[in-house]
C-alpha cells in the first residue's frame, strides 16, 4: 500500500476503503470481511474515503474493539484478522487485514 499526497493508492479487489464505521449497518462491512476470507484475503481501511483520501478516524480503539466483537459474533467460522492502527501525518487509520481462509465458506449471520 502506497500513500501519495495523503491518498492511498488504490482501491482494488483486495482493498476496501471506509470513511467511518457503520455501527448500525454491520452487514455491509462484515460481508466484505467474509468475502476476503473466502478468496485471497484483503484489507478494509477505515479513515479513508472512496477516493482514497485519508480523512482520519476519531476513535480507532473503541471502533477496533467493536469490529473485533462483531466479527466473532456474526461470522461463522471466525476468519483470521489483524487490526492494525496506522498513523499518517497526524491522522489515525485502521487497517482490518483479513487472511485467506482455510475453513471456507465463511458466512455472515445475524
Q: What CATH number did the domain enclosing 100 receive?
A: 3.30.950.30
Q: What is the pLDDT of residue 11?
A: 45
Q: How far is CA 23 from the centre of its chain?
A: 13
With a cut of 50, list the residues of the chain below it in pLDDT. 4, 6, 11
Residue 64 domain boundaries = 2-108
Specify the pTM.
Answer: 0.86
In which element (H, E) is residue 14 found?
Answer: none
Q: What is the pLDDT of residue 1?
A: 52
29 grid coordinates: 462491512
82: left (phi over 0), alpha (psi -120 to 50) or beta: beta
* pLDDT recorded at residue 4: 44
Q: What is the number of structural domains in the chain?
A: 1
**Model confidence pLDDT, tens digit, residues 55-77:** 998 888 889 999 999 999 999 99
pLDDT in the model for residue 8: 52
**Cis peptide preceding 77, ω within 30 of 0:** yes
CA dist 73 and 67 (Å) reads 10
Question: Residue 47's pLDDT is what?
Answer: 94
In our burial notation (b when 16+ CB lie closer than 10 A, e otherwise), range 59-92 reads: ebeebbeebeebbeebbeeebebebeebeeeeeb
Amino acid at each position: 500500500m502506497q500513500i501519495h499526497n495523503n491518498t492511498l493508492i488504490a482501491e482494488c479487489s483486495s482493498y476496501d476503503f471506509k470513511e467511518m464505521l457503520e455501527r448500525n449497518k454491520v452487514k455491509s462491512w462484515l460481508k466484505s470481511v467474509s468475502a476476503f476470507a473466502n478468496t485471497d484475503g484483503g484489507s478494509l481501511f477505515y479513515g479513508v474515503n472512496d477516493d482514497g483520501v485519508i480523512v482520519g478516524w476519531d476513535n480507532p480503539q473503541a471502533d477496533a474493539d467493536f469490529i473485533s466483537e462483531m466479527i466473532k459474533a456474526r461470522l461463522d467460522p471466525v476468519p483470521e484478522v489483524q487490526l492494525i492502527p496506522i498513523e499518517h501525518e497526524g491522522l489515525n487509520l485502521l487497517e482490518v487485514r483479513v487472511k485467506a481462509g482455510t475453513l471456507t465458506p465463511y458466512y455472515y449471520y445475524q
